[in-house]
């Protein structure tokens, strides 16, 4: 596969990542449709490019399957532990940027006009 699509080789994945997945994951449930290597590469691709899950290239597998597993692994902490492990081994470099309303200014009219009930409440406050 193209190294842009799979930045980690299969041998490195089996040596560095797979033991952590096997030790963390319980074996109950249905077998996976997308193997762990393709899944991990797909998530790295989404994180690197910033594309939406629906735009994920089809050779990774069905986007919803990958998204659902990513959501489960993120909620139980497994995926972030794997990334932390790779960063400690200097295999990847992570930079996160958080953007919210405290960092981006909004024009005073950007939230839209006041609704009728808001205008009535404002008029009552001004009256008394």
Residue 89: per-residue pLDDT: 80
Q: pLDDT per residue over 60-91, tens digit each?
A: 999 999 999 999 888 888 888 888 888 888 77
Number of domains forming the structure of the chain: 1
111 is written with which tokens? 């939230």
Residue 85: per-residue pLDDT: 83
* b/e burial code for range 74-89 (CB count within 10 A of at least 16 → b): eeeebbeebbeebeee
Evaluate if residue 113 carries a pLDDT over 70: no
Average pLDDT over residues 81-109: 71
Evaluate if residue 105 carries a pLDDT over 60: yes
Domain that holds residue 77: 1-128
Contact (CB, 8 A) for 36 and 43: no
Residue 56: per-residue pLDDT: 92
């Amino acid at each position: 596969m193209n190294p842009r699509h799979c930045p980690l080789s299969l041998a490195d994945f089996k040596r560095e990542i797979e033991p952590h997945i096997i030790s963390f994951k319980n074996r109950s449930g249905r077998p996976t449709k997308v193997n762990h290597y393709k899944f991990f590469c797909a998530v790295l691709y989404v994180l690197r490019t910033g594309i939406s899950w629906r735009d994920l290239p089809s050779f990774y597998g069905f986007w919803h399957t990958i998204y659902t597993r990513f959501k489960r692994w993120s909620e139980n902490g497994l995926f972030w532990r794997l990334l932390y492990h790779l960063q400690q081994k200097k295999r990847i470099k992570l930079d996160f940027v958080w953007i919210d309303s405290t960092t981006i200014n909004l024009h005073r009219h950007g939230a839209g006009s006041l609704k009728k009930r808001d205008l009535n409440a404002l008029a009552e406050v001004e009256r008394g």
